[in-house]
């Protein structure tokens, strides 16, 4: 039940304006800061200023704090009343609700706009997914970003229960018999637009590191088991991973070779019914806590992918990266690890096919999360630029700020529209058609989106100024995005490699008769 507060007149509040007796008004609410003043992180003197003590400090407050500060329980307790004749204007976000800030939502979710792709059912699904992420994942996500610890088993269990882990792998047989978000969508109806919603909503409540920490390793490491593993292996590994009880990491890259898969040095040698595997892997997402490693190995006949369970000879060490260690980025060593040959994924020597089969989906997934985060950047910038007063006027009064916002919005809207168009193609093409026709466009799209992300990060830093350089306070989201936006440009394929792939794929299809 919400508390009933006493009403005070502005005159009465004005009398409480000194040390030991200090009230302020923020958005029609009265706060008693008498005891808090000496603990205030911004210092006590600022609170005793003539324009603040006993006065309406709403504008000053929102120029210096995020609204979420007032929603923290320890600060909510400072409220003692409301102001007679005034009505609160700034509302706390309601879980599951859409943002009313322009461009904070894609057009398909914006009132009065239309979409050729999404149905009412997608909308219903999106509401449920957003509610889930905002209520279950968001609090944990903030905690883990700061602590660098793995996401708790409790949250993973809830994700498994709603089948979110399975849905992140996209449409397919693996969804059969599963109840998706309480049955809103049937497994056979689940298309890439539904999957894209899951990625976008995950990114709204998670930093770049948390997006990866929430089992991104499984999302890219399990498909080779689904598509190339034996039935026995599938039956053993898939149920326990979708249930959130076991974790998977994709272990391809090495200090010796990244994009150049042929330069890998991890070697698997046959010894009877077992592989003996020795080598190292670097930058392995979720590697610190993975139970299985989908590993690229050099074998006598070329390159082979083998699922290695954590066991004797497997060691993982945390690598410190620019983002939070919640992602569990690891250096992995395999020292004469013995694995049954039944753990081979695909044919011996055909590992390239296994690895390539998943690239388009992984890159498309990065596009979904990145565009969603970039929308949040716009939302933060629009809010900040309207609430920050400089030279007596909001920041938005400056043409240079509006010009930056124009560029940011244009980048996000072009990215979104291209992404939706490619998603539509994915929904209508079979696997072979996707490989043939979409590898190039997805490579170019990812490059466009990650470049846009870094450009948007730079613009946002200029809009937020010094606040975008601190990990707490008003600009903390922008600081995090600016520091981590480069991850989208490298993970799942470096920008330069992918843009080149896009053009090479197009060149392959240049008709001989095409002449100027
Ligand atoms: C209910 C009232 C208030 C609470 C609970 C509160 C709380 C906080 C907190 C938690 C911070 C740390 C930064 C952050 O987390 O955003 C902070 C910083 C600050 N606060 Fe307050 N504050 C209140 C009112 C005010 C008012 C009325 C002023 C007016 C001048 C003010 C001025 C500042 C300043 C100057 C900083 C430092 C900002 C920075 O480092 O950029 N605060 N406050």
The predicted complex's ipTM stands at: 0.97
**How is residue 388 written in tokens?**
């920050």
DSSP letters along 75-98, please? HHTTEEEEETT-----PPPPTTPP
Residue 1 scores a pLDDT above 60: no
d(CA 62, ligand 1 centre) in Å = 9
For ligand 1, atom 16: residue with the closest CA: 473
Average pLDDT rounded to a whole number, residues 198-206:
97
d(CA 42, ligand 1 centre) in Å = 5
Q: Nearest-CA neighbor of 491 among 148, 265, 252, 223?
A: 252
Domains, the chain, with CATH or none: 6-83 (3.10.120.10), 107-206 (1.10.540), 248-352 (2.40.110.10), 360-508 (1.20.140.10)
Nearest atom in ligand 1 to the alpha carbon of residue 46 is 30
| Cα–Cα distance, 492 to 514 (Å, whole number) | 34
Q: Are 420 and 340 in contact (CB under 8 A)?
A: no
Percent share of the chain, pLDDT over 90: 95
* Pocket perturbation via mutation, ligand 1, pick of 42, 72, 146, 465 by most ligand atoms within 8 A of CB: 42
d(CA 7, ligand 1 centre) in Å = 24
For ligand 1, atom 22: residue with the closest CA: 40
**270: number of CA atoms within 13 Å, CB side?**
11
pLDDT band at residue 260 under the 50/70/90 scheme: confident
Average pLDDT rounded to a whole number, residues 398-418:
98
d(CA 478, ligand 1 centre) in Å = 19
For ligand 1, atom 11: residue with the closest CA: 41
Residue with the two structure tokens 């916002």: 405
Dihedral sign computed on CA atoms, order 174, 180, 183, 189: negative
Ligand 1 pocket, residues with Cβ under 6 angstroms: 24, 26, 31, 33, 40-42, 46-47, 52, 57, 60-61, 64-66, 69, 75, 78, 472-473
Q: Nearest-CA neighbor of 187 among 196, 179, 195?
A: 179
For ligand 1, atom 15: residue with the closest CA: 473
Q: Nearest-CA neighbor of 216 among 266, 162, 283?
A: 283
Nearest atom in ligand 1 to the alpha carbon of residue 31 is 1
pLDDT digit string, tens, across residues 263-287 = 889 999 999 999 999 999 999 999 9
pLDDT digit string, tens, across residues 160-179 = 999 999 999 999 999 999 99
* Pocket perturbation via mutation, ligand 1, pick of 62, 69, 88 by most ligand atoms within 8 A of CB: 69
Residue 258 scores a pLDDT above 80: no
d(CA 179, ligand 1 centre) in Å = 46
Least confident interval from 260-264, 317-321, 413-417, 433-437? 260-264
């Amino acid at each position: 039940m919400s508390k009933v507060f006493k009403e005070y007149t502005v005159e009465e509040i004005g009398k409480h304006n000194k040390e030991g007796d200090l009230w302020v008004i923020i958005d029609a609410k009265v706060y008693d800061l008498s005891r808090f003043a000496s603990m205030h992180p911004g210092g006590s003197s600022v609170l005793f200023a003539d324009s603040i003590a006993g006065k309406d400090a709403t504008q000053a407050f929102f120029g210096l704090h995020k609204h979420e500060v007032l929603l923290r329980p320890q600060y909510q307790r400072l409220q003692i009343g409301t102001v007679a004749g005034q009505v609160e204007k700034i509302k706390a976000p309601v879980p599951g609700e859409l943002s009313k800030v322009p461009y904070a939502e894609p057009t398909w979710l914006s009132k009065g706009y239309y979409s050729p792709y999404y149905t009412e059912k997608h909308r219903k699904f999106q509401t449920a997914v957003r509610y889930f992420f905002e209520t279950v994942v968001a609090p944990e996500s903030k905690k883990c970003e700061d602590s660098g610890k793995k996401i708790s088993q409790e949250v993973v269990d809830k994700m498994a229960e709603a089948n979110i882990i399975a849905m992140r792998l996209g449409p397919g047989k693996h969804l059969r018999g599963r109840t998706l978000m309480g049955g809103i969508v049937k497994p056979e109806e689940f298309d890439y637009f539904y999957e894209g919603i899951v990625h976008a909503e995950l990114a709204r409540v998670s930093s770049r590191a948390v997006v990866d920490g929430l089992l991104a390793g499984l999302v890219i490491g399990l498909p080779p088991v689904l598509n190339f593993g034996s039935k026995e292996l599938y039956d053993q590994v898939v149920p326990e991973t979708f249930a959130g009880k076991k974790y998977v990491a994709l272990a391809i890259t090495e200090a010796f070779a990244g994009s150049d898969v042929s330069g890998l040095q991890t070697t698997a040698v046959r010894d009877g019914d077992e592989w003996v595997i020795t080598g190292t892997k670097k930058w392995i997402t979720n590697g610190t806590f993975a139970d299985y490693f989908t590993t690229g190995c050099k074998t006598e006949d070329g390159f082979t992918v083998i699922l290695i369970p954590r066991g004797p000879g497997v060691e993982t060490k945390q690598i410190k990266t620019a983002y939070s260690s919640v992602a569990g980025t690891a250096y992995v060593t395999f020292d004469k690890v013995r694995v049954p040959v039944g753990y081979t994924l695909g044919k011996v020597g055909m590992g390239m096919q296994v690895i390539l089969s998943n690239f388009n989906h992984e890159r498309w997934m990065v596009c979904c999360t990145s565009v969603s985060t970039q929308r949040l950047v716009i939302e933060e910038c629009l809010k900040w630029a309207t609430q920050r007063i400089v030279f007596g006027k909001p920041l938005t009064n400056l043409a240079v700020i509006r010009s930056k916002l124009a560029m940011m919005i244009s980048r996000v809207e072009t990215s979104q529209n291209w992404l939706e168009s490619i998603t539509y193609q994915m929904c209508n093409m079979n696997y072979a058609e996707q490989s043939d026709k979409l590898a190039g466009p997805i490579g170019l799209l990812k490059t466009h989106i990650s470049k846009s992300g870094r450009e948007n990060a730079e613009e946002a830093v200029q809009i937020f100024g010094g606040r975008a350089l601190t990990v707490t306070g008003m600009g903390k989201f922008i600081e995090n995005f600016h520091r981590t936006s480069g991850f989208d440009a490298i993970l799942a394929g470096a920008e330069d490699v992918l843009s080149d792939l896009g053009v090479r794929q197009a060149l392959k299809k240049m008709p001989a008769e095409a002449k100027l």
